[in-house]
Amino acid sequence: MEKKLPTIEIIEKYCKGCHICVEFCPTKVLEMKGFVASVKNLEACIKCMQCELRCPDFAIKVTP
């Protein structure tokens, strides 16, 4: 059975580019694209929710 990928939504108009989500994602799923965070490698996401929990700007929603 294929593993179900999560949905990671980044609300660009809320993101202030602090790097917290990118730096502390344990599997390096995210990257900075200019001043906003973006998803680089969705397959690697282990759905730990740390990025959603730590984003100070309510800019990431992870739906496992």
- The mark string for 35-54 relative to another protein (x by CB under 8 A, - otherwise) is --------------xx-xxx
- Cα angle 8, 9, 12 (rounded to 5 degrees) comes to 140
Our finding on whether 64 is near another protein (CB under 8 A) is yes
Figure out which of the listed residues 9, 16, 33, 61 binds ligand SF4, where binding follows CB under 6 A: 16
As separate numbers, helices (DSSP H) first and strands (DSSP E) second, the chain gives: 2, 4
Our finding on whether 49 is near ligand SF4 (CB under 6 A) is yes
- The mark string for 12-31 relative to another protein (x by CB under 8 A, - otherwise) is -xx-xxxxx--xx-------
Helix (H, G, I), strand (E, B) or coil at 13: coil
